[in-house]
Amino acid sequence: MKVNLIQSEYEVIRDQSRCINCRLCEKQCSNGVNYYDKKLKVMLSEEWKCVNCHRCVAVCPTHALKIVKSDHCFKTNANWSKHDITNIFRQAQTGGVLLSSMGTPKEYPVYWDKMLINASQVTNPSIDPLREPMETRTFLGKKKLDIEYDENHNIITDTKPQMELSLPVMFSAMSYGSISYNAHKALATAAQELGTFYNTGEGGLHEDFYVYGENTIVQVASGRFGVHPTYLDAGKAIEIKMGQGAKPGIGGHLPGRKITKEVSKTRMIPQGSDAISPAPHHDIYSIEDLRQLVYMLKETTNYKKPIIVKIAAVHNVGAIASGIARCGADIIAIDGFRGGTGAAPLRIRDNVGIPVELALAAVDKRLREEGIRNEVSLVVGGTIRSSADVVKAIALGADAVYIATSALIALGCHLCRSCHLGKCNWGIATQIKELEDRLDPEEGAKNLVNLISAWKREIKEMMGGMGINSIEALKGNRLMLRGIGLSEKELEILGIEHAGE
């Protein structure tokens, strides 16, 4: 007798009075949930296969469908949640490491939501962004501390290589392979139109996307996939991936079945072979070794590209960032533990790392104290969900933010956290042609441009409210932030006062 220990978490509710048996929900569900019962002449669902991605709901022409959380439950227990119990069932049955994707769904504090933004009243007038110029443009790279003059007393203006962003928001690394060609194309075209950057991730660069080079950050990770001199030269900046917020301390493994013909071309490994990114870079065991890689990349590209070093937000991040700033990197990217991923061991995603807000505050403070804040720009990512999060991040000390999950949601992602299954019904986290075709890159790019343009307007409004007309004046301006419901220690780490102070 077969015993089913794991029950479905969601139920597909079909209003039979509305259902016209068009079978669209059946065709559109890559998980094979919905089917037509010929005998009963009705559509039925095998809900235990459902990942709650809303594709069927969104395409149903008569609005007959909804997905609800099942009320099937275990005996109430404050210590043992349904997840704890079912995950033990799963591992007891299979002996496997639990695998999931996207950012952690667990209830950890989101410090963005515990900080409030200031606005001017009476003394310092607010500014109306509709009437007055507002500067959201920013530059990333090393900054000179002093103004230097040449022998004719002209200011020497040659700076170290910089990235120019029309607003301090970039799309963070997602490799081709983990996401689809169309998703990459949408990100690349949107970045170009917006005057910002997208990031290749560690999968190399598809030949079709070299034309977006001016708006591209090329990544070098421990697997060094698709890395060669032409690739390094193709982007505006090079990012060394040391870590990722969703899975600090571990590498990546793109299984052979995802290495399709096209993916194989950009990763430059044979079709169907496993792409393994070891946990560490095997030539980096110290800050000195990291310096070696930073300068190797600088030498290879003749000092024309800023080098970004991306790390996961972890304990002691301040000291780590200080080391990175001293090793020649131009930009440090910090990825918080709530950041997304195409696949990560569940226990690591849910338990390793720290919130990016605390990491950012700690790093900015440490670099200032050491007098080297100008040596690097700081970019933060790992749950930037809105323009308000952007403003708070900048006020807390970031030069710019990285977004990925927000961008994918703009492309249709419903956060079903099933990217690792490779069957994304929205054509994002998949290499299956038929699913990929569901994402129209032009429409996707338009949605991204809409989203970021709307954020830009909101950022200007919030800046105007504070009486600030340039993003540079907001950078590290912690006086514009107040904590709400935070302990003394949390306020101390964030370097802000409590609301009411």
Partner 1 sequence: MQKITVNHMSFKQLNNIIRDDKEDTFDLDDVHGQRYIAAGMKNKQIKIKGIPGNALGACLDEGSKITVLNNCQDATGDTMNEGEIIVYGNCGDTAGYSMRGGKILIKGSAGYRAGIHMKAYKDEKPVLVIGDRAGSFLGEYLAGGIIIVLGLNQNGKCPVGNFCGTGMHGGKIFLRSDELPKDLPKQVVTRKANEEDIESIKDIINQFCCEFTFDKNIIFNANFYVLEPNTTLPYKQHYTAI
Residue 438 binds ligand SF4, judged by CB under 6 A: no
- Kindly tell me which of 51 and 246 has the beta carbon lying closer to ligand SF4: 51
Containing H/E element for 253?
strand 252-254
Closest contact distance (angstroms) between CB of 235 and partner 1 is 14
Cα separation, 460 vs 349, in Å, equals 34
Please pick, from the candidates 76, 96, 107, 500, the single residue that binds partner 1 as defined by CB under 8 A. 96
Closest contact distance (angstroms) between CB of 407 and ligand SF4 is 11
Binding mask 67-96 for ligand SF4 (x = CB under 6 A): x-----------------------------
Identify what 408 binds: ligand SF4, partner 1, none; CB under 5 to 8 Å per kind.
ligand SF4
Closest contact distance (angstroms) between CB of 406 and ligand SF4 is 12
Please pick, from the candidates 117, 421, 473, 491, the single residue that binds partner 1 as defined by CB under 8 A. 421
Please provide the distance, in angstroms rounded to a whole number, between the alpha carbons at the two ends of the chain. 66
Closest contact distance (angstroms) between CB of 50 and ligand SF4 is 3
- Kindly tell me which of 260 and 292 has the beta carbon lying closer to partner 1: 292
Q: Is the Cα dihedral 129, 131, 132, 135 positive or negative?
A: positive
Please pick, from the candidates 114, 241, 373, 417, the single residue that binds ligand SF4 as defined by CB under 6 A. 417
DSSP 379-390: EEES---SHHHH
CA distances from 153 to 148, 150, 156 (A): 9, 5, 9
Residue with tokens 């809900």: 47
Residue 416 binds ligand SF4, judged by CB under 6 A: yes
The residue type at 359 = A
Cα separation, 121 vs 115, in Å, equals 19
Please pick, from the candidates 24, 54, 287, 495, the single residue that binds ligand SF4 as defined by CB under 6 A. 54
Residue 331 near residue 379, CB atoms below 8 Å = yes
Residue 408 binds ligand SF4, judged by CB under 6 A: yes
Residue 328 binds partner 1, judged by CB under 8 A: no
Using the rule CB under 6 A, give the single segment among 51-59, 154-162, 264-272, 442-450 that binds ligand SF4.
51-59
Phi, psi of 214, rounded to the nearest 5 degrees:
-65, -20
Identify what 435 binds: partner 1, ligand SF4, none; CB under 5 to 8 Å per kind.
none
Closest contact distance (angstroms) between CB of 487 and partner 1 is 34
Site for partner 1 in 273-302 (CB under 8 A): 273-274, 276, 278, 282-283, 292, 295-296, 299-302
Please pick, from the candidates 54, 66, 90, 137, the single residue that binds partner 1 as defined by CB under 8 A. 90
Chain centroid to CA 22: how far?
A: 37
Among candidates 338, 391, 373, 363, which has minimal Cα distance to 116? 391
What 3-state class would DSSP assign to 208? helix
Cα separation, 346 vs 375, in Å, equals 36
Residue 70 binds partner 1, judged by CB under 8 A: no
Q: How many CB atoms lie within 10 A of CB 65?
A: 22
329 CB-near residues (< 8 Å, 6+ apart) = 240, 290, 294, 307, 308, 309, 376
Residue 105 binds partner 1, judged by CB under 8 A: no
Residue 500 binds partner 1, judged by CB under 8 A: no
Among candidates 121, 138, 133, which has minimal Cα distance to 465? 121
The tokens for 127 are 């500014």
- Kindly tell me which of 298 and 438 has the beta carbon lying closer to ligand SF4: 438
Closest contact distance (angstroms) between CB of 289 and partner 1 is 9
Cα separation, 330 vs 318, in Å, equals 16
CA distances from 429 to 34, 301, 348, 416, 458 (A): 21, 32, 21, 11, 30
Site for partner 1 in 209-268 (CB under 8 A): 222-225, 227-229, 232, 253, 264, 268
Closest contact distance (angstroms) between CB of 253 and partner 1 is 7
Among candidates 155, 173, 126, 123, which has minimal Cα distance to 462? 126
Please pick, from the candidates 11, 14, 43, 53, the single residue that binds ligand SF4 as defined by CB under 6 A. 53
Using the rule CB under 6 A, give the single segment among 23-31, 303-311, 326-334, 476-484 that binds ligand SF4.
23-31
Identify what 500 binds: ligand SF4, partner 1, none; CB under 5 to 8 Å per kind.
none
Among candidates 410, 472, 496, which has minimal Cα distance to 134? 472
- Kindly tell me which of 221 and 391 has the beta carbon lying closer to partner 1: 221
Q: Which residues would be at the binding site for partner 1 (CB under 8 A)?
A: 87, 90-91, 94-100, 222-225, 227-229, 232, 253, 264, 268-270, 273-274, 276, 278, 282-283, 292, 295-296, 299-303, 345-346, 420-421
Q: Which residues would be at the binding site for ligand SF4 (CB under 6 A)?
A: 12, 28-29, 31, 33-34, 50-56, 67, 101-102, 408, 413-419, 424-426, 428-429
